[in-house]
């Protein structure tokens, strides 16, 4: 390429340096100034015309017209300067030519045509009101100053021919038109994100051209303008900037210019008011306090500012109304939200004579809908839920959405029977399935009810107690309601006490492990043991695992407790082996939450390394609920098998058992739940028991019967092929010291005597 790289910038710097040297060296030589000024403008116009025409001729589509029009304007500008140079060189008097003014006006019409073409091309029909205000402010300021300082003096003291006077007046008007269209184009491009580097150069070039024209017109009116003064520098810079825009467009630099948010705010808010301040300053220094163009401009700007402020106040009031609505309402259902609920409830509570019922509604298993059908389906269900609740309780009872799938209803002047009747109507309304895209979805609610002032006198207490009652309704089987009462209060207090004390149980050494033997039924030989957790609290006494394990799972403490149990059982088993007792496999119960923890496998491996227990002497007992997530559970079980650890399914037959899944799970043993053993004389129950035993044996799995308490149960199990059992018939879960005595007795006299010896 003829011109590439950074040469345009170097050329612009060279022109600027040449202008500076010209002023410094030849400031007092008028003829040299005239020659230098015109030669620089001719050169800049020619270079700019070359760059813009080149990109215009090479471009495809409508874009070429913009650059071709700019190129034509630069050519006519160059002709004007050539005409001026010829006139000045041919005459001893240095003056501007009428023909030069004509060429410049033609150039300006081409510039205006280019700006209008670009504006039309980007379809800037919806310019922001803020931008329109800025454009009008700039235009009024510039027009007022031009009329007062340039046009009025020209009209008042015109002594030239009508053509010269007309050209003298039209020239600043054309310059103002360029200023107006440049601002409109700039803000339109900025709004639509289409302001590129080439177009930014063009904008700056047009503004420099307007600045030079304004300075020239003012100096001419003051009869102080001569060729070669500072306004010529602005003209040269304007021609070069427009040309640079064409050059960079030819280089393909069409990425939008990214402006920082603070800079954009300054341009939009500070610059317009700065121009108003300039107009006020001009009005003050003009020493003309009568009504003129400047005062008219100030009046117009004052009216514009007042109008804009009134419009902004109207918009702000509208936004405040919308924000106030959103602050107290749920955007999905249109119901009042948690903030609105608290306000309304506090107002009701303030009236001490009012009795109110609080119904907290939570949808059962709503997460499954979001996970399977997507959140869009969940949102539709929530909207339909709000409609059903509204129909159930009527418009007089306030309905709120607290968030997620929780709703609450306030019943004023409500007796317990009225609250129960309302809850029954809600449950009845949910018997009909919801529909989403031809899919029927069954959704049931659980409802907790608290009463003011019986259950509390603050909104926090009433909501807390209704929430506790609602969770109790869920634990009772869901799709029901429950009142908060003193019994529930005691349950909550006990649960909170357990949760708080559980956090300190490990460090205070309140947990103990007891061990129960596993026995080969035919020989009564001890073949293993199960480690069972016990909590001996100094104040609460012995707390049943069935009570504190659910609390630990709900509070997330089960992971730490489970790791402690696993490490303690492995360490104890290893210690017994080191003492010379026969090696036995110890079974440890693992909760689903612990089993699904991301660090479960790492924890098991680390515990085996620390304790030194061989992996084949450890068995993990997991409930059937792992089948809810078969893929991930299978991966974990396979990893345990690769480590050499056995796995068994505890309480088999009472939960999520699936005959299709069982053969695919990498487990070693199934443990028959005690409920089958307790009713072993029932023919149907015995048939189920035999089926489970046959299923396990046919799949080459170990089978263990839990809860054997009588010789009769033992004989029936043996008759039906069950190989292993455990229960009170052989031994209750005992302390490590008592179990060690059983191990000693087994080593001395055989297991038959050991398991029948008194504890």
SS3 state at 333 = coil
Q: Which of 660, 658, 659, 635 is nearest to 647 (CA)?
A: 635
Map 362-411 to HEC letters: EECCHHHHHHHHCHHHHHHHHHHHHHHHHHHHCCCCCEEEEECCEEEEEE
Confidence of residue 222 (pLDDT cuts 50, 70, 90): low
Topology annotation, domain 498-756: TIM Barrel (3.20.20)
CA angle 156, 157, 162 (to 5 degrees): 95
pLDDT at residue 752 tops 50 = no
Structure confidence by residue, pLDDT tens digits, 25-57:
445 555 566 666 777 888 888 888 888 888 888
SS3 state at 650 = strand
Q: Which of 360, 356, 400, 355 is nearest to 481 (CA)?
A: 360
Q: How many CA atoms lie within 13 A of 3 on its CB side?
A: 18
What pLDDT was estimated at residue 5?
A: 46
Query: Token pair of 758, please?
Result: 């008194």
Confidence of residue 350 (pLDDT cuts 50, 70, 90): confident
Structure confidence by residue, pLDDT tens digits, 674-724:
888 988 888 888 898 999 999 999 989 999 999 999 999 999 999 999 999
Query: Token pair of 402, please?
Result: 């607290």
pLDDT at residue 122 tops 60 = yes
Q: What is the largest CA-CA distance in the chain?
A: 140
Structure confidence by residue, pLDDT tens digits, 234-284:
888 888 888 888 888 877 776 776 555 455 555 555 556 666 666 666 666
Structure confidence by residue, pLDDT tens digits, 57-112:
876 554 578 888 888 888 988 888 887 777 766 665 555 556 677 787 888 888 88
Is the pTM above the cut of 0.75? no
Q: What is the helix, strand, coil percentage profile of the chain, to 5? A: 65, 15, 25
509 burial via Cβ count (<10 Å: 0-12, 13-18, 19+) = exposed
Rounded average pLDDT over 640-657:
82
What pLDDT was estimated at residue 326?
A: 82
Map 487-532 to HEC letters: HHHHHHHHHHHHHHHHHHHCCCCCEEEEEEEEEECCCCEEEEEEEE
Pick the CATH number of 338-484 from 3.90.190.10, 3.30.70.270, 1.10.357.10, 1.10.150.250: 3.30.70.270
Winning range, highest mean pLDDT, from 60-74, 162-176, 426-440:
426-440
What pLDDT was estimated at residue 102?
A: 78
What pLDDT was estimated at residue 575?
A: 95
Confidence of residue 149 (pLDDT cuts 50, 70, 90): low
Between these two residues, 511 and 298, which has the higher pLDDT value?
A: 511
Please confirm whether the linkage preceding 453 is cis (ω < 30° from 0): yes
pLDDT at residue 289 tops 60 = no
């Amino acid at each position: 390429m003829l011109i590439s790289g950074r040469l345009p910038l170097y050329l612009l710097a060279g022109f600027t340096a040449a202008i500076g040297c010209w002023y410094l060296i030849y400031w007092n030589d008028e003829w040299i100034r005239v020659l230098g000024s015109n030669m620089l403008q001719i050169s800049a116009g020619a270079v700019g015309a070359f760059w813009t025409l080149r990109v215009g001729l090479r471009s495809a589509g409508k874009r070429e017209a913009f650059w071709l029009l700019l190129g034509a304007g630069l050519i006519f500008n160059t002709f004007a300067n050539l005409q001026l140079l010829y006139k000045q060189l041919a005459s001893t008097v240095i003056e501007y030519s009428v023909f030069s003014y004509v060429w410049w006006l033609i150039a300006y019409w081409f510039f205006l045509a280019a700006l209008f073409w670009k504006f039309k091309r980007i379809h800037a029909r919806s310019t922001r009101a803020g931008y329109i205000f800025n454009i009008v402010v700039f235009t009024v300021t510039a027009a007022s100053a031009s009329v007062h300082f340039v046009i009025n003096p020209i009209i008042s003291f015109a002594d030239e021919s009508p053509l010269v006077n007309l050209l003298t007046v039209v020239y600043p008007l054309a310059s103002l038109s360029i200023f107006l269209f440049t601002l409109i184009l700039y803000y339109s491009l900025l709004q639509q994100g289409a302001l590129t580097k080439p177009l930014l150069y063009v904008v700056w070039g047009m503004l420099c051209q307007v600045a030079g024209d304004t300075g020239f017109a003012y100096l001419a009116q003051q009869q102080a303008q001569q060729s070669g003064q500072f306004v010529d520098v602005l003209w040269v810079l304007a021609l070069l900037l427009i040309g640079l825009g064409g050059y960079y467009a030819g280089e393909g630099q069409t990425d939008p210019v990214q402006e920082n948010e603070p800079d954009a705010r300054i341009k939009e808010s500070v610059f317009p008011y700065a121009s108003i301040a300039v107009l006020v300053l001009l009005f003050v220094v003009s020493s003309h306090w009568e009504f003129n163009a400047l005062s008219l401009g100030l009046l117009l700007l004052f009216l514009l500012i007042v109008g804009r402020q009134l419009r902004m106040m109207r918009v702000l009031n509208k936004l405040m109304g919308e924000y106030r609505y959103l602050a107290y309402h749920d955007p999905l259902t249109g119901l009042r939200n948690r903030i609105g609920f608290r306000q309304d409830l506090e107002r009701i509570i303030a009236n001490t004579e009012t009795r109110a019922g609080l119904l907290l509604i939570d949808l059962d298993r709503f997460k499954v809908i979001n996970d399977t059908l997507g959140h869009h389906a969940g949102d539709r269900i929530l909207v339909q839920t709000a409609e059903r609740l509204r129909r159930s309780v009527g418009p007089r009872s306030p309905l709120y959405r607290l968030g997620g799938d929780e709703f609450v209803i306030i019943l004023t002047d409500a007796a317990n029977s009225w609250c129960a009747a309302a809850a029954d109507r809600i449950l009845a309304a949910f018997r009909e399935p919801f529909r989403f895209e031809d899919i029927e979805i069954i959704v049931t609610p659980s409802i907790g009810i608290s009463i003011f002032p019986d259950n509390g006198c603050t909104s926090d207490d009433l909501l807390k107690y209704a929430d506790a009652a609602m969770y109790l309704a869920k634990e009772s089987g869901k799709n029901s309601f429950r009142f908060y009462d003193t019994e529930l209060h005691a349950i909550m207090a006990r649960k909170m006490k357990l949760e708080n004390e559980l956090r300190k149980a490990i460090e205070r050494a309140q947990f103990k492990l007891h061990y129960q033997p596993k026995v080969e039924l035919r020989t009564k030989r001890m073949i293993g043991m199960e480690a069972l957790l016990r909590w001996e609290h100094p104040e609460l006494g012995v707390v049943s695992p069935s009570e504190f394990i659910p609390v630990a799972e709900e509070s997330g403490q089960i992971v730490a407790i489970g790791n402690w149990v696993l490490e303690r059982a492995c360490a104890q088993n290893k210690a017994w082996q080191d003492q010379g007792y026969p090696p036995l496999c110890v079974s440890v119960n693992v909760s689903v939450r612990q089993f699904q923890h991301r660090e479960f496998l790492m924890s098991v491996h680390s515990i085996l390394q620390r304790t030194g227990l061989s992996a084949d002497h450890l068995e993990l007992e997991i409930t059937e609920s792992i089948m809810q997530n078969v893929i991930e559970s299978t991966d974990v079980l396979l990893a345990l098998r690769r480590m050499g650890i056995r796995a068994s399914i505890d309480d088999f037959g009472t939960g999520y058992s699936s005959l299709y899944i069982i053969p695919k799970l990498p487990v070693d043993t199934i443990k028959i739940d005690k409920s089958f053993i307790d009713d072993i004389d029932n023919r149907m129950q015995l048939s189920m028991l035999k089926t489970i035993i046959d299923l396990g044996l046919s799949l080459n799995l170990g089978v263990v019967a839990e809860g054997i308490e009588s010789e009769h149960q033992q004989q029936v199990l043996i008759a039906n092929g069950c190989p292993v059992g455990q229960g009170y018939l052989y031994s209750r879960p005992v302390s490590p010291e008592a179990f060690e005595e059983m191990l000693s007795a087994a080593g001395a006299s055989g297991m038959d005597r050991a398991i029948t010896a008194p504890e």
